[in-house]
Amino acid sequence: MTVTTAGTARPARSRARSTGALAVFRRALRSPAGLAGFVIAVVVVAAGLLAPWLSPMAPEATDYANPLSGPSGLHLLGTDELGRDQLSRVLYGINASVLVGLASVVLAALVGVPLGLVAGYFPKVDRVISQLVDVMLAFPNLILAVGLAAILGPSAMNAAIALAVGAVPGFVRLIRGEVLRLRGLDFVSSAIAAGNTHTRILWRHILPNATSTLLVQISVAIPHAILGEAMLSFLGLGIRPPTPSLGIMLAGAQQYIETAWWLAVFPGLAIVALTLAFNLFGDALRDALDPKGRRR
């Protein structure tokens, strides 16, 4: 508490749960699943981001002496058909997946949040935006991403864009709903009555109160994007070989599935770990933001 002087500064009514972004985050870490998810996510993401320093070999370096060799002291996770080190490739693959995943979510939020704000605040604009969002939602997300990636051409950036397009409607809907809720609250009415401009009200009063919800949406969207990236690369629509990507590695592992299990298992585990960790943490965040016990 910052207020230390006695007397008039008693907490008026104990708020059951704070909905500030930081408080929600802390509460999410208090649940075992949330903590586990957070720790795994941090470890895996860090491993991916530090791939250039952690990986024992260059991911594209071939070792023709040891093609398709199982896990050993030299190659901890084995090698593929060209003798490339699996450990290094998995680390770089995580790196690529996380970067594409994050980029697509950030992109989707950058487009979706302003649209949602405007849609929730100005009923006339809302008609147009909501119609567009409905149209977009009519297409299954992954089909949309595949189609877009095919049109844009295979590259990491295009994969991120294709995945972002599919994620935008989720952000628009969510933020629009939050704005509709917040707009009816007294402090927004009183900000309007005090003559504040719409821009100021949206940025200073409404958006900050929507951040915790936004945080949850972001943490839920990340695993989707990571899976989506793996899928696009698997189909040859995402990152281009020889750059390692978890999806590409899985695609390559298909033909050796009976002889070289390690080719499919380790990239697969990496994908599972990433998505599971983000999902666990995202769920914990959502629980921490649960309206039960929360003042509406």
> Whole-number minimum distance, CB 45 to another protein, in Å?
28
Q: Does the CA dihedral 107-108-109-114 come out positive or negative?
A: positive
Under the binding rule (CB under 8 A), the answer on residue 191 touching another protein is yes
Q: Out of 64, 194, 291, 292, which residue is the one contacting another protein (CB under 8 A)?
A: 194
Query: Considering only CA atoms, which of 237, 234, 241, 87 is closest in space to residue 162?
Result: 237
Binding residue for another protein, selected from 9, 61, 110, 128, defined by CB under 8 A = 9
CB closer to another protein out of 58 and 295: 295
DSSP-assigned beta bridge partners for residue 79: 85
Check: CB of residue 287 under 8 Å from CB of residue 266.
no
Q: Does 140 bind another protein (CB under 8 A)?
A: no
105 to 124, contacts with another protein by CB under 8 A?
A: 123
Q: Does 193 bind another protein (CB under 8 A)?
A: yes
User: Could you please report the per-residue DSSP string of 226-293?
Assistant: HHHHHHHHHTTSSSPTTS--HHHHHHHHGGGTTT-HHHHHHHHHHHHHHHHHHHHHHHHHHHHT-STT
The residues, ordered by sequence, that sit 6+ positions from 281 with a Cβ below 8 Å of its Cβ are 28, 34, 37, 38, 41, 219
**Residue 94 gets which letter from DSSP?**
H
As measured in angstroms, the least distance from the Cβ of 269 to another protein is 40
Q: Does 125 bind another protein (CB under 8 A)?
A: no
**11 near another protein (CB under 8 A):** yes
Q: Does 291 bind another protein (CB under 8 A)?
A: no
Q: How many CB atoms lie within 10 A of CB 4?
A: 6
The residue from 72, 190, 254, 255 that contacts another protein (CB under 8 A) is: 190
From the list 2, 64, 291, 293, which residue makes contact with another protein (rule: CB under 8 A)?
2
Q: What residue ranges bind another protein (CB under 8 A)? A: 1-5, 7-13, 15, 18-20, 123, 185-187, 189-197, 200, 204-205, 208-209
